[in-house]
Structure formats: structure tokens, C-alpha cells
Structure 1
């Protein structure tokens, strides 16, 4: 009797594994097809000839930017929709039972900031900091720094506990900046990310610039002085 039960149990195990593998294979296949379709859409967009800069828009798909022009947007969107459909089918194939749905990280991927589009070697690309030379990086840093530094300059300070400090690196100098949450904070955040991305590209191009890695004079906090936020050093 024990042998019969063991045989039945073994058969059930084999059947379960067979269907599990079959399900996983379907999921893997669809995921692979979705990835191929996504690359097809990206390559299609990347191989388009340059046209006036102001006519392009920047699309964010998966973990990258894509420059899109009205002349091929319809075909591009069709490919992207096919990619999304395959990906959705893959998720359903992996867990057909809604009660056992996939649990995955839905935190948005934060891409490096971009700096518009530019024609390069006959094709339009989305500019990242790494695509710029040192001269242009320095120009952009000089333009951005005062905007980031002074963004909250005229914001009233009545409660120092609502302010905090970030530190920017400017020519190897650690510059503390007092910031607080405001309705236009997103604008500041985008400029700050651009500045940090440009500065990181500059460090790579200049072999580190021999800057210290640790701030030798860290800030001691923030106080409100005459309605303005002031960093204590």
C-alpha cells in the first residue's frame, strides 16, 4: 500500500512539475518576444534621419529615452503597443489565476536626466551628460549652479525644522544649500539632478579632478535669520 501511495505521489509531482515548466516556458517565450519587439521599436526610432530639433519629442519606454518624430510616430507606437501586449500576455501566462498574481516591484525606474535631442552621425539621439564634451559640460554647469543655489533664496523661513541641507560639488568645493518643500519643488529637483549628472560626467572626463571625496567642513544645521534660511557652518 505504501508503495502504491508513493507511486501516486510521484506521478502527481511529475504532472505538477510538467505543467509548471510548461507555464514557465510560455512565460519565458513571451517575455523574450516582448524584449525583441521593444528592441525593434528602439532600433526603428534610432535609425531615422535627422530633422529640425523642435519637431521631435522624447519618449520614455522601459529603462531608456527614445527620440520620436511625427514622420514615423505611428509605426513606432504600433511596435510599442505590440511590445506591451506581449508583456501583458507574459504576465498572464505566468499567473493565470488572479488570486495568485505576480508580485513585483512597481517603483518607477529613475533614469539619468536628459538634455534634449541632437543630430549625431546622421541620426537623432537623446542627449545624456556623457554625450557632451568638457567645454559644453562646464558651460551648462556654470548656467545651472546659480539657479540651483538660489532657487529657495526668496522662500520665507519661519520654521527651521522644515528645511534641510543638500551639498553640491563645484570645482572641488562643497557648497551647502538650504532647501524646503514648495509647490515648485519638482522644478528644483530636475535642475539638481541635471547638475549632479553633468558634474559626474565632468569628474570622469577629468580623471576625478583630484577632489576630496568627503566634505572636510560639514554643515551644522539651518536657522531662520530675518525670515531667510541660513546654513550653520
Structure 2
């Protein structure tokens, strides 16, 4: 009896696996969309009185999405979140089988979280006016320039370069440590770039034909600080 039950279980499991492989990218995409809507509805079900009670949880993938989650729904959220990740995995597998490939979109981290009309809400660069952008940029720039002040540079191979966008269409190279607080630093850098992109959009700045003069040569450690050498073209 136990052997029969085991064989039945294995058969059903294998049939389920085969069924998954038969389903199309479009099929899984619809399920992902429905699950995402379910999670969003759950997250919005909690009224916002103190936004600091809400945790920002990212959903990584081709693009990064973000949810604001209150502790009171965390268990239910975690269950749905795991189901969403599983569905997205099957969606990507189906896309690969069908020859569908994605360009990974640049990350768009939120600036902050707020309570708005009784709901927890994330504020992004694209939500800001030009005046608000101009207020944010110098503050964010100082955060980036001072981020690694207490980290001593002893080996230049520990560092890489990130391109910080400038309003006039070129970029400023900034050092980024490969292991120390890298995700946090990347989020600040990418947020700054999204602010610059929003500023260009609001000012109708076009950068397609801009040629930047500076090219990164290498990184050296000087007096304990990472210094980027520039080769002027």
C-alpha cells in the first residue's frame, strides 16, 4: 500500500513538472500579474498612521519592484511573496524556452516612504518637481562623496568605478568598494542618477549627441583614499 501511494505521488509530481513545461510565457505572465495584484492589495489593506512602521521590501528581477509591508501582515505577505517568486521563476523559464529575452532595467530605488490619503506610499524621483529635484541633488551628492570616508584604501583592486550622471549630460566617476556596503552605495548612486534623469526630462535636456571628454584610466590608493585617474581624450 505504501509503495503504491509512493508511486502515485511520484507519477503526479512528474506529470505536474511536465505540465509546467507545457505552459507558455503568456500563461505564467498572467499568473504573475494576478499574484502581484494580490500582494499589492494585501499591502494596501493596512491604514498608514506611522509610516516608519512599514518595511520596504524589494522584489528583484528583470526590474526591481518595491512593497511597503506592515508587521501585522508580514506572515501573509511572506507566503504570497514566495508564491510570486516561484511563478516568476517559471515565467522566466518559459520565456527562455520560447526565445524571449529581457534587458535588465536600471533600478529605480525610492527616495522615501510617506503616508498619503491613509495609505503607505513610496516616493520616487519621477514623482518630484524640478524645484524638489534641485533641493534633493546637493544633499544626495554629499552623501555619496562622504559615503566611504571612514574606509581606508590599501588595495586598488578592492574598488571599482561607478558613473554618476551630471545634469550637463556627461558623468563623474566615483569609487565604489566591491564588498563593503556595496548594495547600500549602489542604491544611493542609482537614486542620484534617477534624479538627474528626471531633471533632464523636466528641463527638456537631450544628451544623444553629447561627447564626454573624460575616460577612466584606473584607480590608485593615495593617502588611504581611492583616487580615480582620468585619461583626457
How far apart, in 2, do the equivalents of 1:60 and 1:37 lie?
16
2-structure distance, mates of 1:110, 1:225: 32
Q: Alpha carbon RMSD of aligned pairs, Å?
A: 4.5
SS of corresponding position for 1:215: coil
Residues 205 and 156 (structure 1), Cα distance of their counterparts in 2 relative to 1, 3 Å cut: same
Q: Distance in 2 between matches of 1:23 and 1:225?
A: 55
- Give me the whole-angstrom Cα distance separating, in 1, the residues matched to 2:54 and 2:196: 27
Residue ranges of structure 2 left out of the alignment (5+ in a row): 1-17, 95-99
Moved more, 46-55 or 199-208: 46-55
Measure how far apart 1:131 and its partner are. Answer: 1.9
**Alpha-carbon offset, residue 77 of structure 1:** 4.7
Partners in 2 of 1:79 and 1:160 — Cα distance? 43
1:201 aligns with 2:202: no
What's 2:11 paired with? none
CA distance in 1 between counterparts of 2:83 and 2:172 reads 48
Q: Distance in 2 between matches of 1:77 and 1:220?
A: 45
Q: Which residue of 2 aligns with 1:126?
A: 122
- Per-residue deviation, residues 89-115 of structure 1 (Å, max 9, x unmatched): x79xx9xxxxxxxxx99xx98742122
With normalisation by structure 2, the TM-score equals 0.62
Q: Which runs of 5+ in 1 are unaligned?
A: 1-19, 95-103
Query: Which SS does the other structure have where 2:52 is aligned?
Result: helix
Compute the TM-score of the two structures, normalised by the length of structure 1.
0.62
Give the greater-gyration-radius structure (CA): 1
